[in-house]
Structure 1
């Protein structure tokens, strides 16, 4: 049987019942569309996640300083040496202890039995550039500076949650808080601490008055770096902070962006790939079912072809080609719809669409393969029909 005749007969068989063929194609369309959308959204979302990862975490390094009974491993002035490293944008030294994590802080020293006397808050000593390192924003007032430190001013800055708990919203009358029965003037309220949410519920004090609460030595150093510099700075930070005790410091650096991107894509792929495969299976079952029904309706046609000299191979090839054409059509439509869906989602979310062109080109071939496998049993069943039984 000439290949052109086989193609013409297969096309005629598929188009003889266009509505049924369209409904049969729909299963493959859904499966291929789901697969293309899954891969495209995974790549696009992974790229977006890495971008946000870079903004928040890939530029942040934390150095944990263990406490030694002999001496301070990192001095408050060592942070200035760290900022001399190329790629370091800001660095902040912090001091916090178990004792300073649960101190009673009150907004006034009046004893009112009908109200809660105070709040249990953490007191943290920090260098003045905390706002830049943590990407925080001042909601009111200002942050203490070098002048406050030199003069040993008893001033504090409240995290936004701590200020809300104490009922302090305005600073125009220089409110004070009382810690250990001593008054400290509130000069600022800071919020938006994306990298250090724990500080939102803390009272921040200058290092010079940190000893009032047992905060003499640095316990942690936060470092903000330029994009791409975190890995290098992580190797140099301990040596810059404490050359004689670099091995005792623990540097916590973010994982690489590629690792985050691959992880995001794997998570999204694993979530939606099953859905795409299930849709393809449903489409394949639909093609097999409709092809089998079509064969039952065309028994007389099959018998007549066999009586006129068509071989079993010719009959099998005709129905295999019909089912493959249905799958191919579904693959082309599904790939097109999936590509449009990925671009649309990216445009709505203001993302950059990322789609592997090889996936879009391979989708029609995958649809044709699904159709071929789905039509295998019906085609073999049609080929096994005897002409006499079919005509009868």
Structure 2
């Protein structure tokens, strides 16, 4: 039997009952659409998550400075880090057990009707802290090198600490008391995107923090450009403490590529099952309808066999019919899936990410599903004896 004749017969069988063929194809369309949408949305979502991961985490490098017999990092050493290519901002912090829970009050007057004492964390930092933690001064200003050099008794409060102490404005130069020492509040730090614990902290210049054991650097926070974190993580210890870099511990973010692959793999594994279930349902529909078609065309099969058609011709006709059904469903499903992905990305203002190979593999997958679904009905039709079929 010529392949062209076989194809014509298969098309004639499909077009003889167009509504049934359309409903049969719909199962494959839904299955392929689900697969394409699943893989496309998974890749797009993974890309978006990694973009947020890059923005908030992959640009942050922290250098931990352990306690030593001599200061491993001086306050002025931070300026060497800022000169490294790829560093956006850097700041040093000094934290101590003594400053972890200090009583801070907003005035020195005992008022029985109002609680003015708060237990807050007191720490010291270098002037570049707001940029290093991606925060902003919601009130006033941050202390600068002049305050540090003069030893001014000034303080910057985290936004939550200011609220706890009842400080709502800086117009009257309010002061806070740490023990018996008074410090003028010159600014309120808020909108922190990193180191959110600083929102409830009291931040002193290095010279003012020495009475509380805050004269030695314990941490250096570095904000880097995208893609520069790995390089800065290797260079920062040598820049901060040449010759002692092995004593410093660097905390750098994991690779964004590994994070993206992990996210995409997890999302794929979660939703791929749904696509496979839909595809199986479509395959069962094709097999069921093809089997019904075989039973309805018993007389036709008997006549063809009586006129000389071999078993392979009968089996081939029904296999081609089911394969065409799956192929059409695959083409339509891939098209609908791509449109759905583009539509979702347009609504969410995402950049669509889709493997081009998927658009070509989806129709092939539909054809394979149709071929497998038509195996049993085709074999059953091929095994019919002409006499029994005609009878």
Same fold judged by TM-score > 0.5?
A: yes
Cα distance, 1:254 vs structure 2: 1.7
Q: Alignment RMSD, CA only?
A: 1.8
Match for residue 351 of structure 1?
350
- Looking at structure 1, the residues matched to 117 and 389 of structure 2 have their Cα atoms a distance apart, in angstroms, of 94
Counterpart of 2:247?
248
Is 1:22 aligned to residue 22 of structure 2? Answer: yes
1:86, distance to aligned residue in structure 2 (A): 2.4
Shift of 1:161: 2.2
Q: CA deviation at 1:114?
A: 4.5
How do 1:359-374 residues align onto structure 2 when only pairs under 5 Å count?
Answer: 359-374=358-373
1:53 maps to: 53
Aligned mates of 2:388, 2:63 — CA distance in 1: 84
Structure 1 residue 330 corresponds to structure 2 residue 336: no
| Divergent runs of 4+, >4 A | none
Task: Please give the secondary structure, in 2, of the residue aligned with 1:178.
Answer: strand
The aligned counterpart of 1:32 is 32
Please say which of residues 370-379 and 39-48 is displaced more in the overlay.
39-48
Kindly state the Cα deviation for residue 115 of structure 1 after the two structures are TM-superposed.
4.2
1:92: Cα distance to partner?
0.4
Superposed, which structure 2 residues align to 1:168-247 within 5 Å?
A: 168-247=167-246
**1: CA distance, partners of 2:319 / 2:336:** 26
Q: 1:255: Cα distance to partner? A: 2.3
**1:180–1:41 CA distance, 2 compared to 1 (3 A):** same
TM-score (norm 2): 0.94
Partner residue in 2 for 1:280: 279
Cα displacement string for residues 278-298 of structure 1 (whole angstroms, at most 9, x for unaligned residues): 111111112112222222222
CA contact (8 A) 2:315 2:382 kept: yes
Q: TM-score, normalised by structure 1?
A: 0.94
Q: How far has the Cα of 1:363 moved from its partner? A: 0.8
> Deviations 1:19-41 (Å, cap 9, x if unpaired)?
22222222211221122122222
In the alignment, the residues of structure 1 paired with residue 164 and residue 374 of structure 2 have an alpha-carbon distance, to the nearest angstrom, of 70
Q: Secondary structure at the match of 1:33?
A: helix
> Larger deviation: 329-338 or 198-207?
198-207
CA change 1:93–1:371 in 2 (3 A) is same
Deviation, structure 1 residue 136: 0.8
Gaps of 5+ in 1: none
Per the alignment, do residues 4 and 117 of structure 1 end up closer, same or farther by CA in structure 2, a change over 3 Å counting?
same
Quote the offset at 1:382 in angstroms. 1.6
2:116·2:165 contact (CA, 8 Å) conserved in 1? no
Q: Distance between the aligned counterparts of 1:160 and 1:290, measured in 2? A: 68
Distance (Å, rounded) in 2 between the aligned partners of 1:159 and 1:297: 80
1:151 deviation in Å? 2.0
Deviation, structure 1 residue 206: 1.1
Change beyond 3 A, Cα 1:155–1:283: same
Deviates further, 321-330 or 77-86: 77-86
Distance 1:102 1:321, change over 3 A: same
CA distance in 2, matches of 1:19, 1:97: 78
